[in-house]
Structure 1
C-alpha cells in the first residue's frame, strides 16, 4: 500500500493545458493531434484553432453563473 505522495523525478512547471497545445501547434502545426476512428485526423493547428474559437465564444457570451454544456 502506498501511503506517501508520488514525487516526480523531474520538476514540472504548473502550466495550463492549453499552453502545451499552443506550443505543439507552433512547433508542429501539421502533425496529427487527434485521430478518430473512421474520421479525419486533426492537426495540432486545427485542434488549437478550435480550442481558441471555443474559448472566444465562451468569453463573449457566458456570464458568471451561466450553465454551459460541452458535447
Structure 2
C-alpha cells in the first residue's frame, strides 16, 4: 500500500485501508484474501488449529465476520 500512496505516511496508509479488499490471486505475497472494513479493521477468514504429533493441523475455517 505504501507504493500506491507514494510515501510512508501513517495517516494516508490508514485512510487507504478503509473498505479495501485484496485478493491473494492478484497480489503476489498474500497468503489469504483480506478485506478491511469502513473503520480500516481487518476482516478475513480465520483458521482454527490444533497440534497433532508436533504438527499444526487446521480443524476448521471460519468465514470473515462481515461476509454476507
Classify the TM-score, shorter chain: under 0.3
* Length-normalised TM-score, structure 1: 0.24
Q: Which structure has the highest helix share of the two?
A: 1
Q: Which structure has the highest strand share of the two?
A: 2
Larger Rg: 1
